[in-house]
Amino acid sequence: MAWINVDYDFYTNTFKGTVIPESAFDRKSVESEAFINKITFGRIHKYDLRPDDLKAVKLSICATAEAVYNLDKHRDIKSENNDGYSVTYVDSGESSRRLRMIEAADIYLADTTLRNRMASYDY
């Protein structure tokens, strides 16, 4: 299995990310890459991707890493109010987390066939 090389330099200079600190990036990007591989039916690790698809995958890993970082940072908080100090906690499970991750990934993967279960991806 070949892992996709998405480093902090790519995140900050190509993706133009500013949300994730460098100390947290590796952990979030590894989790995101595993997730992207899962929702693309293992294709990102199985095939040598075309340059356009590879860039889309790298961008989707960054976007998903940001979603994961924000979800973890604000875990279980639905809303917060500083005036009277009021915090509302959500009762959300993994389905909500998964949906947010898919939404982040699909921004970049939508123009590829990687998410299409019926598409043949042999090349």
Every domain of the chain and the residues it spans:
8-109
Identify which of 23, 43, 98 has the alpha carbon closest to the alpha carbon of residue 67: 98
**Three-class secondary structure of residue 118 per DSSP:** coil
pTM (2 d.p.): 0.82
pLDDT tens string 56-115: 999 999 999 999 999 888 765 555 555 656 555 555 556 788 999 999 999 999 999 999
pLDDT for 40 equals 95
For residues 41 and 18, give the distance between their C-alpha atoms in angstroms, rounded to a whole number.
Answer: 29
pLDDT tens string 21-60: 999 999 999 999 999 999 999 999 999 899 999 999 999 9
Gap between the terminal Cα atoms of the chain: 16
pLDDT for 118 equals 85
Which comes out higher in pLDDT, residue 2 or 111?
111
Whether 24 and 93 have beta carbons less than 8 Å apart is answered as: no
Structure tokens, 42: 């293992």
